[in-house]
Amino acid sequence: MNPVTQQGMLFVASDILEADEADFNAWYDREHVEERVRMRGVISAARYVALQGRPKYLSLYWAESIAVFASPAYAHAFQHQTAWSQRTLPKMVAPTRRIGDVSASVGLGSGAYVATLSLNLPDDPQALAERCAEVGARLSEDPGFVRAYLLSPNDELSRPLPQEDLATRRMYPIFIVESSSEVSNTRAADFAAQALDSRPGEVARYCLTWKLSATELT
């Protein structure tokens, strides 16, 4: 039996100055999301705005595997940005861009509310994945639970955006919980922060603004 290929994810979070916010959102909503979702192997992209914590904006791009983000087509797109992208990317404040495998997945579907928890670098990545799966199973007992998973960033693929602070840049794992209600998502974030080795001050909660799937573009 062939092993199941792990799905890949591109995680991008950033703040933006108020003066640039309208153009930033228009760029994402009218150009960038669709451009990326049209790429072969990309499953969907979703945008979120913060309810608690920072950065204010989060985007999650799902792919069939991490290899999608290592493809020549994706590398070309990253290195040859559109004119609008070239104007916008340098305006992103304190951005985080991470590409990695998704593991320890519990549940199905997408939730309207998302919690992200940055975890400390583990001594044993496999043990962390197993612990995250256990936490996800516990969270699944909540009626508002939708899905939980672990994003393990790949340093080589997670090329930094222009304004990322390289002095503090580390490939911290990110535990993500999706929920159908804000109350459930708050409970999940609080529980996961206690159960996992989360980094103080690096827990944020978001609500969905919109999502685009590749199947809608065919």
- Output the pLDDT for position 197: 87
Instruction: Show the low-confidence residues of the chain (pLDDT under 70).
Output: 1-5
- Output the pLDDT for position 218: 74
102-131 pLDDT, tens digit per residue, is 999 999 999 999 999 999 999 999 999 999
- Output the pLDDT for position 106: 98
- Output the pLDDT for position 11: 98
Domains of the chain: 8-211 (3.30.70.100)
CA atoms of 81 and 92, how far apart (whole Å) = 15
Residue 63's CB: how many other CB atoms inside 10 A?
25
- Output the pLDDT for position 4: 55
Token pair, residue 88, equals: 């916008």
> Residue 65 contacts by C-beta under 8 Å, 6 or more apart in sequence?
5, 6, 7, 8, 41
- Output the pLDDT for position 78: 86
Amino acid, single-letter form, for residue 157: L
Helices marked H in 71-166: 72-79, 83-88, 125-139
- Output the pLDDT for position 79: 86
- Output the pLDDT for position 84: 97
